[in-house]
Amino acid sequence: MQFINYFNQDAYTNIAMDAWLLKNLKPEKPVFSLWQNKKAVIIGENQNTFAEVNPEYITEQNVQVVRRVSGGGAVYHDLGNICFTFFVPVATSASVDFHQFVKPMADALESLGIHVDISGRNDLEIDGKKVSGNAQRYAGGYLMHHGTLLWDTDVDAMVRSLNVADEKFISKAAKSVRSRVGNIKDYAPVGLTLDKFIEQLKYYLTDEGRDSEYKLTDAQKNSILKLRDEKFSQWSWNYGKSPQFMYNNHAKYSGGAIDVQMDVDSGHITDINFTGDFLGVRDWREMKSQLIGIPFTREAVAEVLDKNKEGQYFGSVTNDELLETFFQKDEVVTNG
């Protein structure tokens, strides 16, 4: 198989590249790539990004968040994780089969002395632990099949970046299927490094180095960068394309308990209501219209709350506490 080089480790670029190549590469024979992202959470096409990520952690740790064009759940990437993508001409989308792609990857690993099992969901597993997840997208006679290989990923960072199935978000969005994960490195022959691992996978899949590299032209690269800039790096795609959802949260403070119920569409608040036993100096509904239409982000909500500080709509509950009502995933109890 010909190999195509993904030229950097920026998740916006690489997810744009997957999408662009699916539409534009149109190879006569299968082409594949092996590539890596810096810290990122990659969201499935039909997922609610707000429900899948832990906003505080990803902001703090500079974890990129990117929506891909294939289905399935949210996964965490770092430089210990390797991604692979196959682009294949296919007769119809109906002929598409996960096993057809997962099997050669399993064989490649076996050739390196690493035994893996293929699970019922077409994940690769070692010792009952998931080490690879896969997803696909069909478009106009071509199929993109891509997946991950957990070589030496920071599992603690993975767990912190991804949000647990959260009943505070109600929607028809696709849910991730949480698994026990493992790292291939722990089961690999001693002395096999990440670089050697990638090199050997490439060697195996290029028919022992006999297949040539598919070279992208500068014009093709520029089109990919343009797609990245216009779509895959944009909030309106990564968050804004989340299916409509309802968000409920409850928080308790020394100044009273607050329940918030919100409708969010295209990432923007379309309705909001507060209930609770807080003693507002004035009625919070006076500022309701200012919250409607803004993006569901900490910055946008903070700005409105700040502008309305004087109203003391929530009595002695502070703006910082209020922000927790909006964004904290678990019930917060402050000041005892």
Ligand X SMILES: Nc1ncnc2c1ncn2[C@@H]1O[C@H](COP(=O)(O)OC(=O)CCCC[C@@H]2CCSS2)[C@@H](O)[C@H]1O
197-200 contacts, C-beta under 8 A, 24 or more apart: 197/82, 197/112, 197/151, 198/34, 198/82, 200/111, 200/112
Cα-based distances in Å from 4 to 7, 41, 81, 86 = 9, 23, 18, 10
CB-wise, 146 or 168, nearer to ligand X? 146
CB of 122 to ligand X, least distance (A): 9
CB-wise, 101 or 314, nearer to ligand X? 101
CB-wise, 132 or 249, nearer to ligand X? 132
Residue nearest to ligand X (CB): 73
CB of 325 to ligand X, least distance (A): 26
β-strand pairing of 40-43 with 64-67: parallel
To the nearest 10 degrees (0 to 180), the angle between helices 99-111 and 194-205 is: 120
CB of 25 to ligand X, least distance (A): 16
CB-wise, 2 or 134, nearer to ligand X? 134
CB of 191 to ligand X, least distance (A): 24
> Which residues have a Cβ under 8 Å from the Cβ of 243 and sit 6 or more positions away?
46, 47, 48, 171, 172, 173
CB-wise, 26 or 180, nearer to ligand X? 180
* Amino acid at position 97, single letter: D
CB-wise, 133 or 280, nearer to ligand X? 133
To the nearest 10 degrees (0 to 180), the angle between helices 298-307 and 319-327 is: 150
Instruction: Enumerate binding residues for ligand X (CB under 6 A).
Output: 42, 68, 72-73, 75-77, 81, 83, 130, 132-135, 146-148, 150, 158, 162, 176-179, 181
CB of 49 to ligand X, least distance (A): 14
Cα-based distances in Å from 254 to 260, 274, 277, 331, 335 = 17, 17, 11, 14, 6
Q: By C-alpha distance, which of 27, 275, 295 is closest to 144?
A: 27
Q: Which residue has the tokens 């990245």?
A: 228
CB of 314 to ligand X, least distance (A): 35
